[in-house]
Copies of this chain bind each other. A is one copy, B any other.
Amino acid sequence: MYKLRVVQSGKQYDYEPGASLLEILLAQNIFIDNPCNGKGVCGKCKVRIVSGEVGEVSSTELRFLKPEEVKSGVRLSCMVHPQCDLEVELMQKERKHEVLSKGYVPKFEKDLDIVKQIVNIHKPLLTDQTPFEDQIKEQLSDVEFPFSVLRGFCFKEGSYTAVIHREKDGKKVLMDLEEGDTTDSMYGIAIDIGTTTVVTALIDMLTGKELADSSMINAQKHFGLDVLTRITYEMEHPKEGVQALKEAIVASINEMIADVCGQTGVKKEQIYEVSVGANCTMMHMLLGVDALSIGKSPYAPMFVKAKDIEAEEIGIHASRGARLYCLPSVSSYIGADIVAGAYVCELHKADENVLFIDIGTNGEIVFSDHGRLLSCSCAAGPALEGMNISSGMRAAEGAIEDVEIKEDGVKLKIIGNADPIGVCGSGILAVVKELVRTGLVRKDGAFIKLKNLEETDYRYPMIEMDGIKRQFKMTEDLKITQGDVRQVQLAKGAILSGFYALLKKAGKEMSELDKVMIAGQFGAHLPADSLIGTGILPAEVKDKLVYVGNSSKTGAYMALLSGQVKREMEELAHHMDYMELGATEGYERLFADCLMFPEVH
């Protein structure tokens, strides 16, 4: 067992020798870009070895390292197998705004499900031996007293604060007793669990103020980057898979709770409720429920309804008896994150025709016809998030986030103004939009043939051949291949066809659409001209786009502060219709049509 220290965080970890440095870092939830999955072919997992002997630089590494990098100790972490104590400096600074935790919050009334009440225990006498329990029951006559609350107490006179939970049906249940008067403090946690990232916020439940937030890569990524791979893990590990996935995410949540508590001085014992928005698979995995049926046709989930349980039941450590509220889902692929979004965007109260879309690995779309809700989900795949793209990477320093093709060359916008090392989701969309706009990529998605361009055309030098395949040259090292374009094309076809299918089912024309709301942390980084220019969304909606941010977390936040909100979300989920695209007549034809990029005018 050796020690690994990370310069930036100052944190120290123990590791067993054997694995690559990349694997060791990933195992500690330190995310290092590695599009090639540690095969030594992308050169993106660079770290600097500050101290510790890790052997000679290999010839593989020399292909990716500049001489000054070699000199300063930079290595490819996938090629290094350390066997000593060492100290490393991470090269990729994550963007500050990379995990979106804020967003639009509609007006609502606070209506807490947790209340506190003072009770007084008097000294017993030989002539009055009233039990401790009965003394409390007398003062809390309308409150159920679960026996477990008695544990850990001894009979002692004085003031206590009863922490009481109001259940859905109005029943009040004692959660805990606290010695003395603690009525002046009450905290809660709002969480958005994404397949990729998890965002946690500490909320002062008495004021409604967000005091601190914390975000992490979802630790379940060790079991697969997407939900299907994680479900496959459960299938292949029938005994411990469900448990392992649950423990991974719960450990992350506990770590983030410790983080926000550390930032503010709030104690975890002062946290009485945790509220969670997440997609349906994440919710199954958080709660330790088998998600296998979500992964295969006909995609029926084990549950969709909201859950209100003890947080400790799944291992989340907060106050004794602290509650965990999980927002309701609609179906396997319209999860609580979308219900939260629809609620936050007040789709159920809309007095017009509103379309809500959350773009990610899955694109979820909800259409509101004056409050009547219809939804569908499209399997877009990870291309729009920069995955499955030859030079794709996360939105971090060195990522190309915007591209312009001009007569005088290709203009790149790079996160952190650093040297470009890859292209992130918004960059991929931008470059495909530009390829389509300039005609370098045809409507059917194929690169234009060089013979169809004049050699003097400014575009001519931008296309090069890789064997028999054409590709677009962003820089000397970074290309967009035909395969990359096809990935984007499949994603955009999936989303656009869902869009059209949903409108058709609702009996509406494109012209009748009043507003299109873009949700989710990824969507927030996609400018309108990329969405329209690639044909992910039709040109007609260009001026109707509204960006709403991380509405899943906002929904969790609102539910935390109001029982009324919880009930309205449950109503909304219950009344949202879901159409399964795969079971929709003519869908395959529609999908094929939607693969076409927009006409260039």
Contacts and interface: CB of A to CB of B under 8 A. Distances in A.
B292 A129 contact: no
A127 B300 contact: no
A302 B150 contact: yes
Interface residues of A, number: 44
A129 B299 contact: yes
Contacts of A125: 298
Given A127-B583, A147-B307, A580-B129, A155 B313 contact: no
Nearest to A308: B147
A331 B133 CA distance: 12
- Central interface residue in A127, A147, A287, A302, by most chain B CB within 10 Å: A147
A536 B583 CA distance: 85
A289 B150 CA distance: 7
Nearest to A294: B155
A297 B304 CA distance: 54
Nearest to A156: B293
A444 interface: no
Interface in A584-601: none
Contacts of A298: 124-129
Nearest to A148: B313
A134 interface: yes
A79 to B, nearest CB: 41
A133 B292 contact: no
A150 B302 CA distance: 8
B129 A332 contact: yes
Contacts of A303: 131-134, 147, 150
A305 interface: yes
Interface in A215-258: 242
Given A131-B300, A313-B148, A290 B126 contact: no
A64 to B, nearest CB: 45
Copies in the complex: 2
Interface string A141-157: 00000011011111100
Contacts of A580: 126-127, 129
Interface in A559-578: 578
A281 to B, nearest CB: 13
Given A155-B290, A307-B147, A302 B124 contact: no
B287 A147 contact: yes
A132 B299 contact: no
A306 B151 CA distance: 16
A288 interface: yes
B302 A133 contact: yes
A309 interface: yes
A582 interface: yes
Given A288-B151, A293-B155, A126 B299 contact: yes
Contacts of A133: 302-305
B155 A304 contact: no
A520 to B, nearest CB: 23
A301 interface: yes
- Central interface residue in A125, A129, A151, A290, by most chain B CB within 10 Å: A129
Contacts of A305: 131, 133-134
Given A150-B302, A155-B293, 13 more contacts: A126-B297, A127-B583, A129-B300, A129-B331, A129-B578, A132-B301, A150-B289, A151-B287, A151-B288, A153-B290, A153-B302, A155-B292, A155-B301
5 contacts: A124-B293, A126-B298, A131-B301, A134-B303, A151-B242
